[in-house]
Amino acid sequence: MLYDNPSSLKPGFSFLDEPRNNLTDAYDWLISQVLKDIELRKKFIKLEDAACMQSFTAACNGYLAIQREFLSVILILVYFTAGLPPRREELIGVT
């Protein structure tokens, strides 16, 4: 089970930072998995030398654009199929 703390006002806080989830090392694990896979490494990471790593901004921005579009489609589906229209706070919180 995953826990979240929506009342946290800390910038960048996510469920990965929630102590009850015990996922504090998840970011490091994800980076290690990307570095192990050649295709993922080519797509997201540019290794200039062993100490310097730069992400490919275009690949990351492309992923975020796809995610944003997916969330917009989900929002529309929920809006039309969930019964009563959402209140302003509910609608703003999703987008």
pLDDT in tens, 4-62: 888 888 887 777 788 888 887 877 888 888 888 888 887 877 666 544 555 666 777 78
Please say if the pLDDT value at position 95 is more than 60. Answer: no
In whole angstroms, what is the distance from residue 86 CA to residue 93 CA? 11
Q: What one-letter code names the amino acid at 16?
A: L
Place of tokens 């062993």: 50
Q: How much is the pLDDT for 33?
A: 86
DSSP conformation class of 31? H
Closest CA to 2 of 15, 11, 13, 12: 15
Strands (E) in 25-91, as ranges, are 45-49, 52-55
pLDDT of residue 70: 92
Look at residue 89 and tell me whether its pLDDT is greater than 80: no
Residue that is written with structure tokens 């990965």 in the block: 16
Predicted TM-score (pTM) of the model is: 0.40
